[in-house]
């Protein structure tokens, strides 16, 4: 994935009977994409709350989309996703990665959580793996603020 380039469209499946939007539907404002997995402690403990904070603090100035990816571990059922949405107060749409982590591999994610930040034109601004608040999340937060305040 190259910075300042458009990324390919994702391959996602709906979780809650929703249709899956195309990536181009998010052009016009920045988009934060979070790859996560319900079996990932860093995702549940830090990444999901961070994504929620971005939504609450920035309102309509940025879109957040989650991609639940599974490159190992158990399959999750609709009930698992419903419980996670409630337990972790997920305030943004999320979808399942198609196949065996098709979009995860296409976007060259490093594991979960992995973040991609796109600008309003849909070009990749930043890509980072992790949920350490003093490293990945701090850097991501700074990039988001720079992008929103330009």
Closest to 32 measured CA to CA, from 125, 138, 103, 130? 125
CB 90 within 8 A of CB 53: no
Domain span holding position 81: 37-148
pLDDT per residue as tens digits for the range 79-88: 999 999 999 9
pTM strictly above 0.85:
yes
Residue 143 lies in a domain: yes
Please give the span between the terminal C-alpha atoms of the chain, in angstroms, as a whole number.
Answer: 23
Give the distance from CA 59 to its chain's centroid.
16
Domain count, the chain: 1
CATH number at residue 141: 3.40.30.10
**Tokens 């190259």 sit at which residue?**
2
Residue 130 lies in a domain: yes
Residue 84 lies in a domain: yes
Give the distance from CA 38 to its chain's centroid.
13
Residue 1 lies in a domain: no
Per-residue pLDDT at 150 exceeds 80: no
Residue 87 lies in a domain: yes
pLDDT per residue as tens digits for the range 14-64: 999 779 999 999 999 999 999 999 999 999 999 999 999 999 999 999 999
Query: Residue 53: in which H helix or E strand, if any?
Result: helix 48-58
């Amino acid at each position: 994935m190259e910075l300042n380039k458009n990324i390919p469209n994702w391959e996602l499946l709906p979780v809650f009977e929703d249709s899956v939007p195309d990536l181009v539907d998010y052009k016009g404002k920045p988009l934060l994409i979070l790859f996560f997995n319900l079996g990932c402690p860093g995702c549940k403990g830090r990444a999901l709350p961070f994504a929620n904070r971005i939504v609450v603090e920035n309102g309509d100035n940025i879109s957040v989309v989650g991609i639940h990816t599974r490159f190992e571990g158990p399959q999750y059922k609709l009930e698992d996703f419903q419980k996670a949405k409630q337990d972790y107060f997920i305030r943004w749409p999320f979808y399942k990665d198609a196949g065996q982590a098709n979009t995860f591999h296409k976007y060259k994610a490093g594991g979960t959580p992995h973040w991609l930040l796109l600008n309003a034109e849909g070009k990749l601004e930043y890509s980072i793996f992790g949920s350490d608040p003093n490293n990945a999340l701090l850097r991501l937060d700074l990039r988001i603020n720079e992008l929103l305040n330009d």
